[in-house]
Structure 1
């Protein structure tokens, strides 16, 4: 049976017995009120009336309640949602317009756009990156016209959309969030480099005091204190690897979670495969927490590593390690009273200058790309055959070719000096990995060189890869406040999506495997993301229903939302998967996407029943490819 809580609220006798006084409360506050006179006697201290009980569901299920469609496809017209319960408005970042769309949510089945928040008055040619709402105040993160310049955070009234104030923050402000008390806003200033990596601003977290919303003040938690400690951080497992970068320039905050008590925050450092732990009161980054690596050689961490031939092939791959590299993170208090973090392990590679032919022609000063296919990395003829195509010049300068350690990769046929079947498409050949990690190095980080036959040789020109590092964990994780892994979903995402029990479509009538590891922008893309990051979990949102806490995880490529009961952080359980994606196979996806459902979920927002327009808990899901914001009803299933 579900556990229920009954709360009691002590009302004054006058309020309980004289409804008219409630309507006149504002006028009567200044008057002495002794009693409410009337016949019939009765106690002057009646029993308090109980609030409606808060029931705990046995389970939940997602259903489509409504949808707002921008009619704009493949242009990121719906990215991050937020919600104001007082005005019953949703605010959705529209990257195509550079604004935030304002949606009337008073009828969840038919949300409609009523206006937009345009930040050009704050910064000309500005682009809105993220949005958060608290207490009737809307906060927008605003990117400067030149993304490496300082950005802004602006504050608006949710009901009138009036601009209240704005402040300057770091370069490329992205995700932002209020502390639970609403008095502070934190924003992740990602500080991405320019496309040619010529300018690389420092990453930081701005901490904005909004206790007086008309005069906000900013403090900055930066990473300069970690400069000079790069070797220490690398040894601990933090990736610091950008060209010529120190810690402050290389660490790039992506997403922020705040503890329930509002004292501590954590920022995901996605490319660095780490978290920054922040003391809010002192505006200080106190710890850089490496996240470690996922062993895809274990059965519970199996993956599909190839898109060619297109097939379901989820299997262990010894020697392949996954960098968790979370995007969205969230904090919550579990049943044991401890604070835990929930992380969507999307994965992300640095790829700057990839659209400049001069970079691929060998000019390393014009970019930096770390991604490379295994089949090209360990080809027996070396790297030169890929010059002018997809060979990063930094890798070309490091060595003439690379080998696989046969002691690690013997399972797929590797022998000294020859990868053999390991580089076949159906094995590891198609998998995209980072070339910056996994090769054998000395105590100073310099590569240990080998000859083409696989023998150690200081005069050799080959790298020896003892491990291959793939992007993302293809999972959701739970970690404690110090970044220690408590639980990971392992291979559950891919195995569920490949199972006969899984169904997609608004009516859940299409086999999930139809779109297994599929791209989010074409209808016949079965398995074409297995060589990249699989289903790509990107967004995560937490919702509490009764005594249970649930995590909602958006899958960017495959689409849809995975739901887990995370009440017990050490033993979460899978609850539901819902994806409105439908089937379409026309030659021009733009002509058919309007009938294809919601594609490319980017951001999620949980709306508890008490704040929802119709008294039912909801989940907003913004989808960057289809340009839609889906309103999902959270159906609560109670024990009989």
Structure 2
């Protein structure tokens, strides 16, 4: 198959397994969203590699009837086509070679107008405008351009095509500083008659050259056109804008993009999300989009480090009027939204943070919506810009590196194309298709509240889950090793979305932490499992004081076992018994090689008797490995009926490429009556558990994610019998970054 479709229509939205899909943002740190009767829901994700053999899908546009998408694939020097006659079932529709690197395109009637880079070098740039008949797939015209084209835009009346000639700089030349010649410019194509007869002229950007920081090296980046045939052009490295009249070619106005004071952002890559920096950053806008004839929005990505080593990019978006006055500045608020939603990519903190690169406007009925894409956090913010200040409508997850955004109001659709894959893991370059449907926002499913300083509680990569023994609405989650410190999060599961209301650092351990499992003891304190890493940290059971987060007990495996440990160690943890006489159970993710333990497939569940200090082990029977790669355990939970739940999953993601997700399931085992035996002289116990399928979670993950997530990590049963699961988003590191938090219904209904 060439696509992974999700029907978020009535059948799945009412399915008990997908009960948590209809969630809103009200009352959370994700902020004061606008109340509305309808929001966007993902209905399909198209894999461009499996479908069309494409390497990337960077810029995307749609046909006038809304039935065909066209996208650029620069790596293959081609454009691709997708049939969205049924947008929930997109179909591959082939590619056309364009004789160079397509950098942008627009659809004009039966044609695709493609800007193609054919440059031999930075100092000898060249390109062409290629006109492709979408119906016959023939190249019907080519117009040579005296420079390297980038962005293109078609005027609403379809009389003009504007082509940005960037002539980008060589970042290895003179430290990447500008000026570097030749300069770029703006081409104006007058569309009249047959494509072979179109004429191309240069806009007069001399006023910009006179006032931009780099003078005559303009390097324009992006262009959009309003109803008056006025183009707004961004000059990213120059931190500048121009308003150009396409009829005359004159520059009507030009002005600096300015800078932004940012407060409480993370500017250090220390594997912690620390919102403690104050920065002043040049906006350095990338994409621009008119909202109306007087206002436009810019995505302030940043792309230049000046001679002083100062890097631009203000981590948000801005709304200007065409006279150059700032009407709205998001400052740090956009980044804070993504922190609260668990989508902050900490590995970009020293650079440009969430890096907004794309922006798109669309009028859906009476609603004026602005879409802002974060390239590094794989998310699009949707804002209503009808009033004085934008109001957040929702956040939408995407594939890795959203680049092209396209609103399709006539069909109630929004499309995001991504330019990055993680092929080894089975995460392709994809086109995400969203449809406006009645109901509250489905995503995010879990967000954080603000802390006492009014800042979002940072979190990523949730792992194990545990339930409070009394309060049915309170759950606990742990971070894994993605952050340099280990945390326990308190979750209010009654809210929609679920809310992380507090976090507590775990301190006092003898080594670094990779918290993978959590349980609540009879005395109310926590027991957590920390996964080992050979040569770095041991596998450990830790008892943690609820009030302080201090480790009060630390229990390690017998040395002869730890010596055989592999990187897939302790995962879930469960505890039974009274304080001081607990039985603590931990799941070992995968089999460890050991003398006398020659199974190599079935892993083990360990039991530690607190009063006696003795360890015992029993084998857990693993499912046979399929297309989803290796299989391991991710969670261990005590169930209300006296049995224990074990999460067993493969490494697979999505479908149709790489590692296909096949196993994301919860099994029940009887540990109370199992034969736990110690290792004797290095020989492993022989007993093997029997198991019973409790719930197949794969359908729920497929229904509620844009690309089925790999890491089903947390499972718990609340005090009222409600069953919850959570996925680990890998810290948005080489992964889309979705976190699914789902209520699977009542435990009694699962059996």
Q: TM-score, normalised by structure 1?
A: 0.58
Specify which of 350, 357, 360 is matched with residue 541 of structure 1.
360
Counterpart in 1 of 2:274? 313
Query: What does the per-residue CA deviation read over 1:265-288, in whole Å, with 9 as the maximum and x for residues that have no partner?
Result: 111101111102212111123433
> Are 2:437 and 1:635 equivalent residues in the alignment?
yes
> Are 2:191 and 1:210 equivalent residues in the alignment?
yes
Query: What does the per-residue CA deviation read over 1:188-228, in whole Å, with 9 as the maximum and x for residues that have no partner?
Result: 1101134654972221110001121331100111545665x
Q: Distance in 2 between matches of 1:307 and 1:194?
A: 26
Q: Is the 2:48–2:55 Cα contact (8 Å) retained in structure 1?
A: no
Q: Is the 2:257–2:285 Cα contact (8 Å) retained in structure 1?
A: no
Q: Distance in 2 between matches of 1:313 and 1:226?
A: 39
Counterpart in 1 of 2:416? 621
Counterpart in 1 of 2:372? 553
> Are 2:45 and 1:67 equivalent residues in the alignment?
yes
Question: 1:57 and 1:314, CA in 2 relative to 1: closer, same or farther beyond 3 A?
Answer: closer
What SS does structure 1 have at the residue aligned with 2:334? helix
* CA shift for structure 1 position 72: 8.0
Question: 1:315 and 1:60, CA in 2 relative to 1: closer, same or farther beyond 3 A?
Answer: farther
What SS does structure 1 have at the residue aligned with 2:335? helix
Q: Distance in 1 between matches of 2:102 and 2:97?
A: 8
Counterpart in 1 of 2:238? 272
What SS does structure 2 have at the residue aligned with 1:497? helix
Q: Is the 1:189–1:205 Cα contact (8 Å) retained in structure 2?
A: yes
Counterpart in 1 of 2:690? none
> Are 2:264 and 1:290 equivalent residues in the alignment?
no
Specify which of 94, 98, 101 is matched with residue 77 of structure 2.
98
* CA shift for structure 1 position 604: 0.6
Query: What does the per-residue CA deviation read over 1:47-100, in whole Å, with 9 as the maximum and x for residues that have no partner?
Result: xxxxxxxxx993542321112113489x96110001113472111111221111
Q: How does 1:103-502 map to 2 (within 5 A)?
A: 103-120=82-99, 126-146=100-120, 148-194=124-170, 197=173, 200-214=181-195, 215-224=197-206, 229=210, 233=211, 238-240=212-214, 247-248=215-216, 250-262=217-229, 264-296=230-262, 301-308=263-270, 310-317=271-278, 320-333=279-292, 339-349=294-304, 370=305, 434-436=306-308, 469-499=310-340, 502=341
> Are 2:391 and 1:573 equivalent residues in the alignment?
yes
- Structure with the bigger percentage of strand: 2
Structure 1: tracts of 5 or more residues without a match: 1-55, 121-125, 241-246, 350-369, 371-433, 438-468, 503-511, 519-526, 581-597
Q: Is the 2:258–2:283 Cα contact (8 Å) retained in structure 1?
A: yes
Counterpart in 2 of 1:452? none
Question: 1:195 and 1:323, CA in 2 relative to 1: closer, same or farther beyond 3 A?
Answer: closer
Query: What does the per-residue CA deviation read over 1:219-242, in whole Å, with 9 as the maximum and x for residues that have no partner?
Result: 111545665x4xxx3xxxx432xx
What SS does structure 2 have at the residue aligned with 1:171? coil
Counterpart in 2 of 1:562? 381
Q: Is the 1:480–1:486 Cα contact (8 Å) retained in structure 2?
A: yes
* CA shift for structure 1 position 155: 1.6
Q: Is the 2:38–2:438 Cα contact (8 Å) retained in structure 1?
A: yes
* CA shift for structure 1 position 560: 1.4
Question: 1:226 and 1:480, CA in 2 relative to 1: closer, same or farther beyond 3 A?
Answer: closer
Counterpart in 2 of 1:80? 59
Query: What does the per-residue CA deviation read over 1:433-481, in whole Å, with 9 as the maximum and x for residues that have no partner?
Result: x4437xxxxxxxxxxxxxxxxxxxxxxxxxxxxxxx4421111110001
> Are 2:512 and 1:531 equivalent residues in the alignment?
no
| Number of residue pairs aligned between Structure 1 and Structure 2 | 391
* CA shift for structure 1 position 162: 2.7
Q: Distance in 2 between matches of 1:560 and 1:68?
A: 17
Counterpart in 1 of 2:408? 607
* CA shift for structure 1 position 486: 0.7
Q: Distance in 2 between matches of 1:72 and 1:272?
A: 39
Q: Is the 1:129–1:174 Cα contact (8 Å) retained in structure 2?
A: yes
